[in-house]
Structure 1
Amino acid sequence: MAVPRSTRNPPVPPTGVVLLTDRRLARTPLVEVVAGAVAGGVRWVVLREKDLPRVERAALATDLRAVLAEAGGTLVVAGPDPLDGDAVHLPAAGPYPPPRVGLVGRSCHDGAELARLTTEDYVTLSPVYPSRTKPGYGPPLHPAGLAALVAASPVPVLALGGIATAAQVRACVRAGATGVAVLGTVMRAEDPTEAAVALTTVFGEPQSATTAGES
């Protein structure tokens, strides 16, 4: 039985730029790409790579946790198995209720999926913009649609899908997202550190700069 949110010590949900992994898109070995992103300010990484055997995926999780630990970052594992950690990110399809681990995220795309949440600590909402990584998903929410779903969400929201520029990050923050999740923008980058810096610096800007200007 899941522990009611009100009786748990509240975990710290992801904020800022959250990197989703895809070793097939990475220009260099995945651990190197993540290390570059961490050097650029990323402090949250979601390990995907679901096609790997568990032993290989667990070893990769260990390596990524070591990279993140040096910067005080956190690894979240996609799927219900935390791979010896304490943070997972689940698909909209399940499982329900979520497993009893320290931090649980869920992928959502509409109000009906938000209404199914129980003890999750945060969600991703996607796609906000057209996505090269998942071109068949949509239609895009765009900032206005994102804002409407953020208002309906009982937990903090990460914006996901097609986010590649600082202007898009600012638009998502104005819509109420506490962070953005990115994949191809960093995985495909010739310089993952530079790509990460371009996005993470938005979260260090004064609030007036984030909530005004570009749309």
Structure 2
Amino acid sequence: MNLSLYFVTPDGAAGLEALVLAAVRGGATLVQLRDKHATDADLIPVARRLVAALAPSGVPLIVNDRVTVALASDAAGLHVGQGDLAVTEARRLIGPDRLLGLSVEALDQVERLPLGIVDYVGIGPVRATASKPDHAPPIGFDGLARLVAASPVPAVAIGGLGAGDAAAVKRAGASGLAVVSAIGAAPDPEAAAQALAAEWGAA
């Protein structure tokens, strides 16, 4: 599991498959399919296409929140938030071999992590972000460092991150940065991913 450049798809993105493949060509190491508005029936064929498209690269597809979609598409894993399915139940449903990620935004959530259930945590938001308007208050890089230090599993930073942030994320101890708009809204997603991947490698 390489969390270094974790691309989260924008809601309702047109040309999603082309966008994801561009991100991966540029260096994205993991892709999360996130669409809070689409139905499971809408998302299953999308997820199946992405799993097939990503197979040659070996980059895993993680599905946000939708257990049914993750299982039906044979995705590599599932990511849940604090208001979604409990991680113990999520693990029971997806089995022992799929990746399971959990969003955390506060120290007590990290400290309550059940051991042996979650493979990684997404910590944030580091900054305010328009791609998730209902997010918790930003924790900043100091907050990120505190939560990373307390986490028993690898952590990826998320929330308003983009070009110029890799060094600060790495200094905080995170295993990578997760981005939405920095790749998804870029005029050239492949070049944007390439720049972020190079920045992480040099940090």
Tell me the distance in 1 between the aligned counterparts of 2:79 and 2:16: 19
Deviations 1:79-115 (A, max 9, x none): 1512332410011133241323321100000011112
Contact kept in structure 2, 1:43 and 1:68, CA below 8 Å: no
Q: Unmatched 5+ residue regions in structure 1?
A: 1-11, 211-215
Q: Which residue of 2 aligns with 1:57?
A: 43
Contact kept in structure 2, 1:39 and 1:193, CA below 8 Å: yes
Identity of aligned residues (%): 35
Q: Which residue identity is paired with 2:192?
A: A
Q: Which residue of 1 aligns with 2:6?
A: 18
What aligned pairs does 1:1-215 form with structure 2 within 5 A after superposition? 12=1, 14-24=2-12, 26=13, 28-81=14-67, 82-84=70-72, 85=74, 86-93=76-83, 94-97=85-88, 98-100=90-92, 101=95, 102-118=98-114, 119-165=117-163, 167-205=164-202, 210=203
Contact kept in structure 2, 1:41 and 1:197, CA below 8 Å: yes
Tell me the CA shift for residue 66 of structure 1.
2.0
Aligned length: 191
Tell me the CA shift for residue 54 of structure 1.
2.1
Classify the secondary structure of the residue corresponding to 1:159: strand
Give the TM-score taking structure 2 as reference length: 0.87
Tell me the distance in 2 between the aligned counterparts of 1:147 and 1:23: 29
Against the structure 1 CA distance between its residues 58 and 80, is the aligned structure 2 distance closer, same or farther, given a 3 Å change threshold? closer
What's the C-alpha RMSD, in Å, of the aligned pairs?
1.7
Tell me the CA shift for residue 130 of structure 1.
2.2
Contact kept in structure 2, 1:79 and 1:91, CA below 8 Å: yes
Tell me the distance in 2 between the aligned counterparts of 1:95 and 1:80: 12
Tell me the distance in 1 between the aligned counterparts of 2:105 and 2:77: 21
Tell me the distance in 1 between the aligned counterparts of 2:86 and 2:128: 27
Q: Unmatched 5+ residue regions in structure 2?
A: none
Tell me the distance in 1 between the aligned counterparts of 2:125 and 2:36: 20
Tell me the distance in 2 between the aligned counterparts of 1:88 and 1:15: 14
Contact kept in structure 1, 2:27 and 2:194, CA below 8 Å: yes
**Mean Cα displacement is larger for which, 31-40 or 43-52?**
43-52
Deviations 1:138-189 (A, max 9, x none): 4322211111111111111000000011x21210011000011111111111
Give the TM-score taking structure 1 as reference length: 0.82
Runs of 4+ in structure 1 off by over 4 angstroms are none
Higher alpha-carbon Rg: 1
More helix by proportion, 1 or 2?
Answer: 2
